[in-house]
Chain A
Amino acid sequence: MLDRAAAETSAKDETTRRVRFRGAGFVPASSRFGGWIALALVIAVWQAAGSAGLVNPLFLPAPSAIARAIYELAISGALWQHLSASLLRIGVGWLLGTAAGVAVGFAIGLSRLARSVGITFISALFPIPKIALLPLLILWLGIGEEPKIATIALGVFFSTAISVYSGVDAVPRNLIRMAQSFNVPFATIVRKVIWPGALPSILAGFRITASVALLLVVSAEMIGAQYGIGAFVLQAGNLMQTDQLLAGVVILSVFGLAVGKVINLLETKLLHWR
Chain B
Amino acid sequence: MDLIANHITHRFGDLAVLDDVSFTVGAGEVVAIVGPSGCGKSTLLSILGGLLQPTSGAPELRGAPPADSLNPLTFVFQDFALLPWATVEENVEFPLLHTHLSSAERRALVDDALRRTGLTDFRKTYPKQLSGGMRQRVGISRALAVKPAILLMDEPLSALDSQTRELLMEDFVRLLADGGMGAVYVTHNLEEAARLADRIVVLSRRPGRIREVVTVPMTRAARGETSAREKLLALQNQIWSLIRNEAIDAEREVQHA
Contact = CB atoms under 8 A, between A and B. Distances in A.
B75 interface: yes
Given A182-B74, A182-B94, A192-B94, A175 B81 contact: yes
Contact of A192 (B79, B81, B97, B146): B97
A175 B83 contact: yes
A271 B146 CA distance: 28
Interface string B47-89: 0011100000000000000000001011101010101111000
Contacts of A273: 84-86, 126, 128
B95 interface: yes
Contacts of A185: 98
Nearest to B81: A178
Contacts of A183: 71, 98
Contacts of A184: 94-95, 97-98
Q: Which of A185, A188, A192, A271 has the most CB of B within 10 A?
A: A192
B128 A188 contact: no
B93 to A, nearest CB: 11
13 contacts: A177-B81, A178-B75, A178-B77, A179-B94, A179-B95, A181-B49, A181-B51, A181-B71, A182-B71, A184-B97, A184-B98, A273-B86, A273-B126
B98 A174 contact: no
A201 to B, nearest CB: 14
Given A180-B51, A184-B95, A192 B74 contact: no
Contacts of A196: 83, 85
Interface string A250-274: 0000000000000000000001011
A193 interface: yes
Contacts of B126: 273
A interface majority secondary structure = helix
Contacts of A192: 83, 94, 97
Contacts of A172: 81
Contacts, number: 50
A273 to B, nearest CB: 4
A179 B82 CA distance: 10
Contacts of B79: 174
Interface string A67-86: 00000000000000000000
A174 B84 CA distance: 12
Nearest to A200: B85
B141 to A, nearest CB: 13
Given A181-B51, A182-B71, A188-B97, A174 B83 contact: no
Interface in B87-146: 94-95, 97-98, 126, 128, 146
Contacts of A182: 71, 74, 94-95, 146
Q: Which of A178, A183, A196 gathers the greatest number of chain B CB atoms within 10 Å?
A: A178
Contacts of B77: 174, 178
Which 3 A-B residue pairings sit nearest by Cβ, starting from the closest? A182-B95, A178-B81, A273-B85
A181 B74 contact: yes
A57 to B, nearest CB: 53
Contacts of B95: 179, 182, 184
Nearest to B152: A181
Contacts of B50: 181
Interface in A219-274: 271, 273-274
A255 B11 CA distance: 57
Contacts of A178: 75, 77, 81
> Which of B50, B75, B85 gathers the greatest number of chain A CB atoms within 10 Å?
B85
Contacts of B146: 182
Given A174-B81, A192-B94, 10 more contacts: A174-B79, A177-B51, A181-B51, A181-B74, A182-B71, A182-B146, A184-B95, A185-B98, A273-B84, A274-B128
Contacts of B97: 184, 188, 192
Contacts of B51: 177, 180-181
Contacts of A193: 83
